[in-house]
Structure 1
Amino acid sequence: MQDALTKITDTLSAVRVMARSGLIPFPRVDEGVGVLLAVSKYGPFAGSVHARAAHGHGRVAIIDERGPLTYRQLEEQSNALVRAWQAEGIGVGSCVGAMCRNHRGLILTMLAAAKSGVRLVMMNTGFARPQLVDVAAREGVHHFVFDSEFADIADALPSDVTPFLSWVDQAPPTPPAETPPRTLDALIAGQSTEPVPAPKDHGVFILLTSGTTGTPKGAPRGRTSPFVTAQFLDRIPLRPKQTMLMTAPAFHGTGISQLGLGLALENTVVMQRRFDPETTVHLLAEHHADTMVLVPTMLQRIIDLGPEVLSKYDTSSLKVIFAAGSAIAPDLSIRTQQAFGKALYNFYGSTEVAAVTIATPDDLERAPGTAGRVPATCHIALIDDDGNKITEPDVVGRIFAKSGLSFEGYTDGRDKQRIDGMLSTGDVGHFDRDGLLFVDGRDDDMIVSGGENVYPLEVENLITERPDVLEAAVIGVEDNEFGHRLRAFVVPAASSARDASEIRTHVKSNLARYKVPRDVIFIEELPRNATGKLLRRVLIEMEVEPE
């Protein structure tokens, strides 16, 4: 009974949010109904494009390095690709892998997969050959779409995997006896662009976990309710017919969720294929973008450009900086507001759960670094070691959450821990007295030093507050006396004196003695994967000479 009431309440909340944001357009309710019908037919991603193309507005859907494509062109070209795939025997039940940067080839592949009922595995562009082979074998990939720059990596796949090129910087090398891979453009040419019948089963996107400690796991995303868009729109003012700059990789949960939402809102999405901080600001100004979607490491590099560079560009159109994928340090929250005004929205979620909480600019102004509050249709609880819910403020517990986009389990049959229908995020955190969530770190990142528990994020945030520090990461290393001692890796600013004792003194002045890093190592950059996740294992295995 309680579950039924929750579903009704969530649905009513979602409808209100969607109406307020313009996704259910009044008085043109017919257009809203048309979108819902198209989503029911083709799924949320392809359904939105199909509906917008049918309206015949001629609005530009995406812009990449090859220029603009309207919603109608996206619809027609994806229809043609579906037919080309059908001629190859690719349809319901087939599994296609895609290793692409942000551009039309990836979008067309995603649309065609949805319309074909295909399982599409969204490969990380940072994969090495062994990771690609492992994931492709586990997921049963028999067709592979990739950019030419990844040809050497794609070559590791078995010979019975059919290759297709989605973007060509230069033709990949082909042995004389072999036929070069066909491009998506060549497949589409000559095919009918008329609408295709809906598949008997919706296509499924397989998102991959970050894989910072091993081979990434597959988290499927299949049929979902259109009402799940409310979890993004409730606390973030995304609106119809705006311009969105997609800087985050679209193969990851952050990028794909906002790309899908942008298309549902009939936005024009500017696709950035390779990240460069000043190029990003240039694109933002050139296209008068309302929204910029990125991961925190990208935001850090943009802010680090400094006022002299940022002031060269008119970014006054920017209303929303959507940042997700890893924690945002309090210092970065403050500096972002100084550079762009009250535009930063800190999205906290996971590949498995999707949305958990969102911090608005007001939240971040009052409590820099907070993960915010739950949006509509989402639920959260902090659980102690005995499995009980924590209701008091400032008490740390494991974070459990659920949303309309929560997954049903990994493709290999494994699952996350579940309590009362909620999934473990793998993080620990606490609420303050105002009900704002703070993520204190990963449960498995906790360091026990001298019998005391230390979460690295608290120490990292304190160190990065210093003007002479760009980034910091703290790990635990084995120690005969304390079990583990803290080691800090610091990326210094140009002005830094690289004084390890000064860093230790700074921490000692603000935190308990057992949280002071014994070792401070200065390095040029922190190891991260393609989505900006810190690779702590690389730091743990790194041979260094403490200063």
Structure 2
Amino acid sequence: MPAPTDTIGFGAIASTDPDRVAVIEGDGTPTTYGELARRVDRLSRGFAAHGLRPGDAVAAVLPNRRAYFELRLATGQSGLYLTPVSHHGTVAEVGYLVSDSEARLVVADRSLVDTVGAALDGLGFPGADRFAVGGAPGWTDYEQLLSGVSDGPPAEPRAGEVMGYTSGTTGRPKAVRKPLPDGPPRLSPYVLGFMARLDIRPGHEVHLAAGPLYHAAPGTFATLALQLGHTVVLAERPTPEDWLHLVERHRVSVTFTVPTMLHRLVRLPAQVRDAHDTSSLRSVVHAGAPCPPEIKHRAIDVLGPVLTEFYGATEGTATALTSAEWLTKPGSVGYPLPGIRVRVLDEDGRDARTGEAGTVYFTPAAPFEYLKDAAKTASAMHDGLFSAGDIGHLDQDGWLFLHDRRTDLVISGGVNLYPAEIEGVLAAHPAVADAAVIGVPDPEWGQRAVAIVAPEPDATAGTPLAEALIAHCRSTLAGYKVPRAVEFTDALPRTSSGKLLRRDVRDAYRASGATT
């Protein structure tokens, strides 16, 4: 059973165990729960002194560092919305997110003030509302937000929310805005139940935050780790070897990762992997992109039965499962969470038959809207259920299996081909570092599948490898699913959370003038 909600939570732990280490930054600097709580409380009062009121938004453009947690926890007890912005964004991208979120205050790392400053200048954003972590010319030092105010939490704490943006695979990203909860911040039984399904519980654990915190899942899991009393170790885009070193050095028990990292880990030479002790790991959570079954099998072999997985989106979470469950249901993304209903609907909006593919819908754990886009909100809903546009099926026991995103389908001769399935087969070949499958126009079939492959460094791109990959696919896939051609590239475009930018792959293919 989950621990009582009044005995856990960041504030409760800071009060009862202030000397427990909360955050270890990339340079090794530790911050205790007591120290972090004092900074969070002073920042909350600084927001109020600056004129921010419940419902206002704060934008943060930061690499993985302690200030992210200060901002998230402070907005979370001040009734404010926090919009994390990618620190890899361009001037136009940063400007769009700040403008669209209607942020009243912007915090940026000093290393990013040139880009962020240009974006804010273009918006006419007031200089007095710009704060730089570490200080920067023309910006107010972030520490001034925490100075000149009294200690202690807000007199009337009110829960805030993160207003994250969708990944924007089609069109501009949209903010997912949830109503502010009533009363002070608290961990809900739903959240505790979800964490327990992933074998993540309160206690003296160590959480490795290796993914970009501005993304929904890495930021949420790392913040929840603090709510559960864990120590969070911060890293910025570690290599697989770095990841293994951090796990061993800090005795990491919990982390969030993406299939790309799992793929790279299992491809490391055995002597490199075996040189590191990973026995402390208890829950390695992955999500965000399809994980080929062959890669997941190998990752379980390498790390042990510690892989956990969930399916969801910025809008909500639907299912979860452990390694033991996955091994009995290979390829599944889990069973519905308590209180969450999952339906798979056919083209006519009726429930698909068991095992039949259709559009996946599920109950949002909390109501939401796409900011300033009622039409998009309505189009994503059906009978109170939400869909991210994914295609999947339910088996006879109610476990969910994903096929692909509807926008990624390749329809060849009237038959649906799911790129993720073909990519998973390609990824299992030892010469393949990464792979994408796209549909290209075909006068006879409408579309044909073409594989774009990034070879491993020791593999040679060319006709012999292309033929070997097609033969490999034929050994596993039905003939109609086998790519009609294989093209090679140095690297495929992916977001920092591991999502394939398939639209960019298509654009690059068209720009190359390939006629294969």
**TM-score normalised to structure 1 length:** 0.85
Looking at structure 1, the residues matched to 238 and 372 of structure 2 have their Cα atoms a distance apart, in angstroms, of 31
**Mapping of residues 78-89 of structure 1, within 5 Å:** 78-89=40-51
What SS does the aligned partner of 1:471 have?
Answer: strand
The residue number in structure 1 matching 2:361 is: 400
Looking at structure 1, the residues matched to 330 and 460 of structure 2 have their Cα atoms a distance apart, in angstroms, of 27
The residue number in structure 2 matching 1:6 is: none
**Mapping of residues 459-470 of structure 1, within 5 Å:** 459-470=422-433
Listed as ranges, the gaps of 5+ residues in structure 1 are 1-19, 25-31, 36-47
Does the 8 A contact of 1:98 with 1:121 survive in 2? yes
The residue number in structure 2 matching 1:252 is: 215
The residue number in structure 2 matching 1:136 is: 98
The residue number in structure 2 matching 1:296 is: 259
1:18-76 Cα offsets, whole Å, 9 max, x none, are xx24x32xxxxxxx4365xxxxxxxxxxxx22222222452111111351112221111
Looking at structure 1, the residues matched to 212 and 113 of structure 2 have their Cα atoms a distance apart, in angstroms, of 19
The residue number in structure 1 matching 2:33 is: 71
Does the 8 A contact of 1:328 with 1:346 survive in 2? no
What SS does the aligned partner of 2:74 have?
Answer: helix
Correspondent of 2:311 among 333, 344, 348: 348
The residue number in structure 1 matching 2:142 is: 184
The residue number in structure 1 matching 2:491 is: 525
Between 1:81-90 and 1:127-136, the stretch displaced more is: 81-90
Identity %: 32
Looking at structure 2, the residues matched to 249 and 122 of structure 1 have their Cα atoms a distance apart, in angstroms, of 10
Shift, 1:231, TM fit:
4.3
Shift, 1:495, TM fit:
4.3
> For residues 222 and 288 of structure 1, do their structure 2 counterparts lie closer, same or farther at Cα, with a shift above 3 Å needed?
farther
1:417-475 Cα offsets, whole Å, 9 max, x none, are 32232111210111334543210000111111122211111111111121221221101
Q: Is residue 33 of structure 1 aligned with residue 6 of structure 2?
A: yes
Does the 8 A contact of 1:333 with 1:364 survive in 2? no
Looking at structure 2, the residues matched to 374 and 229 of structure 1 have their Cα atoms a distance apart, in angstroms, of 14
Does the 8 A contact of 2:210 with 2:235 survive in 1? yes
What SS does the aligned partner of 1:338 have?
Answer: helix
What SS does the aligned partner of 1:105 have?
Answer: helix
Looking at structure 2, the residues matched to 73 and 437 of structure 1 have their Cα atoms a distance apart, in angstroms, of 43
Does the 8 A contact of 2:212 with 2:237 survive in 1? no
Shift, 1:138, TM fit:
1.6
**Mapping of residues 479-498 of structure 1, within 5 Å:** 479-498=442-461
Looking at structure 2, the residues matched to 239 and 316 of structure 1 have their Cα atoms a distance apart, in angstroms, of 18
Looking at structure 1, the residues matched to 391 and 193 of structure 2 have their Cα atoms a distance apart, in angstroms, of 22
Correspondent of 2:274 among 294, 307, 311: 311
The residue number in structure 1 matching 2:132 is: 165
Correspondent of 2:161 among 193, 197, 204: 204
1:384-422 Cα offsets, whole Å, 9 max, x none, are 111111242x21111001142453444533314322321
Looking at structure 2, the residues matched to 409 and 383 of structure 1 have their Cα atoms a distance apart, in angstroms, of 23
1:329-380 Cα offsets, whole Å, 9 max, x none, are 112201211211101112111111x221113101332344321212223221
Q: Is residue 145 of structure 1 aligned with residue 107 of structure 2?
A: yes
The residue number in structure 2 matching 1:102 is: 64
Q: Is residue 374 of structure 1 aligned with residue 347 of structure 2?
A: no
The residue number in structure 2 matching 1:412 is: 373
Shift, 1:235, TM fit:
2.0
Looking at structure 2, the residues matched to 280 and 148 of structure 1 have their Cα atoms a distance apart, in angstroms, of 26
What SS does the aligned partner of 1:76 have?
Answer: helix
Looking at structure 1, the residues matched to 499 and 159 of structure 2 have their Cα atoms a distance apart, in angstroms, of 31
Shift, 1:541, TM fit:
0.7
The residue number in structure 1 matching 2:184 is: none
Correspondent of 1:507 among 473, 496, 499: 473
Does the 8 A contact of 1:230 with 1:376 survive in 2? no
What SS does the aligned partner of 2:387 have?
Answer: strand
The residue number in structure 2 matching 1:218 is: 175
CA-atom RMSD in angstroms: 2.2
Does the 8 A contact of 1:234 with 1:375 survive in 2? no
1:274-311 Cα offsets, whole Å, 9 max, x none, are 33322221111111011111222233233333322222
The residue number in structure 2 matching 1:127 is: 89
Between 1:443-452 and 1:317-326, the stretch displaced more is: 443-452
Q: Is residue 243 of structure 1 aligned with residue 243 of structure 2?
A: no
The residue number in structure 1 matching 2:505 is: 539
Looking at structure 1, the residues matched to 277 and 417 of structure 2 have their Cα atoms a distance apart, in angstroms, of 43
What SS does the aligned partner of 1:425 have?
Answer: coil
Looking at structure 1, the residues matched to 260 and 143 of structure 2 have their Cα atoms a distance apart, in angstroms, of 34
Q: Is residue 516 of structure 1 aligned with residue 482 of structure 2?
A: yes
The residue number in structure 2 matching 1:41 is: none
What SS does the aligned partner of 1:207 have?
Answer: coil
Looking at structure 1, the residues matched to 330 and 368 of structure 2 have their Cα atoms a distance apart, in angstroms, of 30
Does the 8 A contact of 2:364 with 2:386 survive in 1? no
**TM-score normalised to structure 2 length:** 0.90
1:304-334 Cα offsets, whole Å, 9 max, x none, are 3332222221111111101111111112201
Looking at structure 1, the residues matched to 474 and 237 of structure 2 have their Cα atoms a distance apart, in angstroms, of 40
1:97-136 Cα offsets, whole Å, 9 max, x none, are 1111221111111122123222221212332221221222
Residue 244 of structure 1 aligns to which amino acid in structure 2? Answer: H
Looking at structure 1, the residues matched to 441 and 422 of structure 2 have their Cα atoms a distance apart, in angstroms, of 18
Shift, 1:535, TM fit:
0.5
Does the 8 A contact of 1:62 with 1:70 survive in 2? yes
Does the 8 A contact of 2:336 with 2:399 survive in 1? no
> For residues 152 and 95 of structure 1, do their structure 2 counterparts lie closer, same or farther at Cα, with a shift above 3 Å needed?
same
1:191-250 Cα offsets, whole Å, 9 max, x none, are 322222125x53231011111223211012444571221442342211222111111222
